[in-house]
A and B are shown apart, each in its own frame.
Chain A
Amino acid sequence: MTTHYLVLSALLFAIGGVGVLVRRNAIVVFMCVELMLNACNLAFVTFARQHGNLDGQLIAFFVMVVAAAEVVIGLAIIVMIFRTRRSASVDNANLLKY
């Protein structure tokens, strides 16, 4: 029964992953990261349902909290970068290398 949910979760995760790898706009990358997190949440909840305990649900809440915190800090960083460099492309922010 739960297989469909897991397949959906895997598809969402893959879409998110591909998005992170191929998109350059930081906002889009960020949204893809969120998508991956939520795909994980879906998987956790599904497993909770499958095993009949609440562990997965619990973890899902943790993930949501962490994701919310991450969005706050991440968006702030992106805004700052955009302000200083007039661009939200992740490829432009490549100073930290070698």
Chain B
Amino acid sequence: MQSPAEIVQHSGGVIGVSWLMIALPLLGAAILLLGGRRTNKWGHFLGVAMSLGAFVVAVLSFVELTGLDPDQRRRAFELFEFIPGMVNMGMLIDPLSISFALLITGVGSLIHIYSIGYMSHDRDRRRFFAYLNLFVAAMLLLVLSDNYVGLFIGWEGVGLASYLLIGFWQHKPSAATAAQKAFIVNRVGDFGLLIGIFTIWTTFGSLAFADLTQQVTGQASEGTLTAIGLLLLLGACGKSAQLPLQSWLLDAMEGPTPVSALIHAATMVTAGVYLVVRSGAFFEQAPTAQLVVTIVGVATLLAGAIIGCAKDDIKKGLAGSTMSQIGYMMLGAGLGPAGYAFAIGHLITHGFFKANMFLGAGSVMHAMNDEVDMRRYGALFPVMKVTAVTFIIGYLAIIGFPMLSGYYTKEGIIETAMEHNAILGWLAVLGAGLTGFYMSRMIFMTFFGKKRWADDAHPHESPAVMTWPLVILSIGSIGLGAFLILGNRFMNFLSPAVGLPQELPETHVFGFGPAALATLALVAAGAALAWFRYGAAEVPAVAPRGSFLTTFARRDLYGDALNEALLMRPGQWLTRIAVFFDNRGVDGLVNGLAAGIGGTSGRLRRVQNGYVRSYALSILFGAAAVVGALLYVGNM
């Protein structure tokens, strides 16, 4: 067992200017948003340049970091004082954050390039690139910040970018609603994260990662640590679309496809995993919280897979698969130092192959007049070979085909989970089998079988600016897993940031453990089933009604129905009651008082009737009363 290294203060070098990674895309977003139509012509190039610039800084920082001794590889430096006496804004460049930075800027840049082609017909392409740049900046702030407040700012920043991009085609009510839903559901998670941060502050008096070492957190009671862990997990569930806050991700597919690839597959939705791993100092000393993390992970990986099995919309199918894969990462992150490297490794390889497939799906949609229903696809392989081949590589990677990226990282998670808790492990194996089924179904329905195209569809291969990113991503999907996992290369690299387990796992080019074989068998069975039902058999152009289970999966496991019944409708009633109460109750009381005074005076003034004789009478009574009173007082 090896603890993470101490964070040391850094100055100078490329790392000293690594804030440029955040500043460049931020500047790009600012120029594009403030520059207005003037920047329409070259806006997309600026966006790409800023993203590539950030990538270059990230690579150089990575090179500089690897030049240092392993125990010196956690470099932090302060930028400015944020809230005096509480928090200073600073950067933390360590193996964990730099891995993320490379993924975000690398995959991000490819997706930027792809978007030049994909969005070329959109009149708001400049704004799209502005938002993409904003996203990259916020995401980098999230992972590079050296404290929880900076992390939180980035966390909400990516939420904002996600909101803007899901609702990019805001004139469609469904897109606007999906964007709003994503933001609000995320806010529920943010609430947890916020309270978690409060608890950390009141317990330890610091929010900087450098101060919150395991020695420090170890001095708090386990109850406090568990509470912190669960609160942070709530935040992670929101951002990473884990149960019970998963419902927004499927709707988020309303956004343009590059957005789905970058934000809702490769990077932003994995922020929850980052948070759990980064907060290892709390989780590792709170086994209950860790157990909950693994349970949430397993539950989500199964739920996502089940949803993926029933979706006819290619993007929603991929979204279900994303949920499921993040469930694997969450499971890995809940296993402590033994699982971290696999979780983050799977996160990175998933970033490649899922972005690959999403962009591939985008390429298909581009060719099919934005049709997303796979029942209207079929036999696309011959007409778009590059897209098809790269998509299939991504597919093989995700189902864990031996030797490809996903095989090593997913297998690592499953094996580690198996050692930890057999039930969790076998459930993860089952999830892998389901992955084999729904991903094969997608491949067969899209690229093989018979043409079921709409009459006006004339599919064609996408331009080079869109296919080259696919090729590069598919290369990553092939080799990255083996590169990271074999010989525990990635685990050793990450160890200064997250520590090492007691004993390093053995890695094989091709493992023959029971779990590995069972996984392979189930995946093959799933793929075969998909072949019989969707490859060999005729696929009806209209979805058949299906059994109860199909409906259950199609309706996203009734997640939306549940939210509506439990939260939305009571909320609407509460709002109505509150408005009524405010108008009639609180304000009614005040207005009632005013009306009462007005009414009384209205009645009293009737006495002034203008008849002299009645005034005289009242004078007489008054005089008599005064005399009577005087007599009474005089007799006392």
Contacts and interface: CB of A to CB of B under 8 A. Distances in A.
A and B touching (Cβ–Cβ under 8 A): yes
B606 A90 contact: no
B289 to A, nearest CB: 76
A20 B610 contact: no
A97 B612 contact: no
Contacts of A91: 611-613
A49 B613 CA distance: 35
Contacts, number: 32
A15 B54 CA distance: 110
Interface string A1-31: 0000000000000000100111010000100
Contact of A20 (B609, B611, B613): B613
A24 B613 CA distance: 8
A95 B616 contact: no
Contact of B606 (A24, A93, A95, A98): A98
Nearest to A97: B610
A24 to B, nearest CB: 8
A94 B609 contact: yes
A28 to B, nearest CB: 12
A94 B610 contact: yes
Contacts of A24: 613
A29 B620 contact: no
Contacts of B613: 20-22, 24, 29, 90-91
B631 interface: no
Contacts of A20: 613, 616
Contacts of B617: 21
Nearest to B606: A98
B42 to A, nearest CB: 77
B605 interface: yes
Contacts of B610: 93-98
Nearest to B605: A98
B612 A29 contact: yes
B611 A94 contact: yes
Interface residues of A, number: 14
A53 B613 CA distance: 37
A94 B615 CA distance: 11
Contacts of A17: 620
Contact of B608 (A22, A29, A93, A98): A98
Interface in B376-414: none
A17 B618 CA distance: 12
B605 A21 contact: no
A39 to B, nearest CB: 14
Nearest to A33: B616
A97 B608 CA distance: 5
Interface in B24-53: none
Contacts of B605: 98
A21 B606 contact: no
A25 B472 CA distance: 113
B612 A93 contact: yes
Nearest to A18: B620
Contact of A90 (B608, B609, B612, B620): B612
Interface in B580-619: 605-606, 608-613, 616-617
Contacts of A93: 610, 612
A24 B611 CA distance: 10
Interface string A63-98: 000000000000000000000000000110111111
Interface of B: 605-606, 608-613, 616-617, 620
10 contacts: A20-B616, A21-B616, A21-B617, A29-B613, A90-B613, A93-B610, A95-B610, A96-B610, A97-B609, A98-B605
**A-B residue pairs, 7 tightest by C-beta:** A94-B610, A97-B610, A90-B612, A20-B616, A97-B608, A98-B605, A97-B609
